[in-house]
Amino acid sequence: MYFLRRTDVNCVTNWNVPLVWEGTFDPIVIDAIYKKTNPRVGVMIFAVGKYTRFLKGFLETGEKHFLTDFRVTYYIFTDNEKEVPAIALDEGRKITVLPVPSARRWQEVVFGRMKWATITIDKQIRNETDYLFLMDVDSLFHHRFGAESFSRLSAVLHRGYYKNTERVHFPYERNPESRAYIPVGEGDYYYTAAVLGGYLEDIYNLVRYCYEHSEEDARNNIEAVWQEESHLNKYLLYNKPTKVLSPEYLWSDYTKIPADIKVVRISQLKKNYAEVRPNGGH
Ligand code: UDP
Ligand code: MN
């Protein structure tokens, strides 16, 4: 029995959309509602350079926990098609591999996600998908990630800043010359760029915005402090998400699990940054 009430966390934003936590929805009821329209779901993941090693775990655990019983296409952007593992997928689920160039800097990959997402939606995905998610590949699913995540634009609270953090301490881009600039005193939340979803056209508007604005910065020799995540946070400040997902939807193996996180749905793996990234470091 679900009581569908939490008193220890905020379950609604100040623009009155749901903030989703375990214990605030009935998973059976919400899946049944969305199953009626049988939406086509796309998930974009990038596996460039050594990150192809993360595909197997991501896909295998995704099959166990991510929108099971829904139609899902994993769009895998990679520079090494041969490294895409053969995974047994459930009925109605498939993998589409899309070639992208290799990178010399990891920053090229993370910015490049917005570019390739924009181009590929225009070329192909628009005709194939109703809901589109973007996710980091260096993670595993551990628990249900279901239809409660669906909305026009759903963003995930960054685990590092959701609790007891005043907005002046959010790591927004503070350089007024950058297109990602957010003045001190503004901001709702700090969102992660590692999990994101929504209606195809809403995600398209978002990725295109991030792509164009980071290109504009690059022409001025500026790179925002947290790359595409900085532009994403700027976009979401002025285009509010229609649903906010708690950090259950992206935790990290580096971070201790506090009492208000009742389940971890996805967790980022620990990784050796120096070894896995083409130009090392953070
Ligand atoms: N990525 C990739 N190759 C790289 C660097 C990044 O494929 O050389 C992709 C991959 O999907 C990864 C995402 O970009 O999950 C974000 O980078 P990363 O996970 O390293 O950033 P972090 O989560 O550590 O900030
Ligand atoms: Mn990551």
What pLDDT does residue 2 have? Answer: 55
Residue 72, marked binder: no
Q: What is the DSSP string of 149-169?
A: G-SSEEEEE-TTTSSS--GGG
Give yes or no for a contact between 130 and 200, defined as CB atoms under 8 angstroms apart.
Answer: yes
Would 276 be classed as within a structural domain? no
Contact 58 CB / ligand 1 (< 6 Å): no
Contact 278 CB / ligand 1 (< 6 Å): yes
Distance CA 270, CA 187 (A): 29
Would 191 be classed as within a structural domain? yes
Number of domains forming the structure of the chain: 1
What pLDDT does residue 4 have? Answer: 72
CATH number for 57: 3.90.550.10
Distance CA 67, CA 248 (A): 15
Residue 248, marked binder: no
Would 128 be classed as within a structural domain? yes
Would 65 be classed as within a structural domain? yes
Cβ–Cβ contacts within 10 Å for residue 140, how many? 18
The domain of 164 spans 19-268
170-200 pLDDT, tens digit per residue, is 999 999 999 999 999 999 999 999 999 999 9
Would 8 be classed as within a structural domain? no
Percent of residues in the chain assigned helix, strand, coil, to nearest 5: 35, 20, 45
Would 189 be classed as within a structural domain? yes
Would 123 be classed as within a structural domain? yes
The pTM (predicted TM-score) of the whole model is 0.97
| Average pLDDT over the chain, rounded to an integer | 96
Kindly list the catalytic residues.
Answer: 229
128-155 pLDDT, tens digit per residue, is 999 999 999 999 999 999 999 999 999 9
53-75 pLDDT, tens digit per residue, is 999 999 999 999 999 999 999 99
Residue 273 CA to ligand 1 centre (angstroms): 10
Three-class SS state of 235: helix
- CA-closest residue to ligand 1 atom 16: 136
Would 252 be classed as within a structural domain? yes
What is the Cβ-side half-sphere exposure of residue 113, based on CA atoms within 13 angstroms? 29
Residue 4 CA to ligand 2 centre (angstroms): 31
Residue 207, marked binder: no
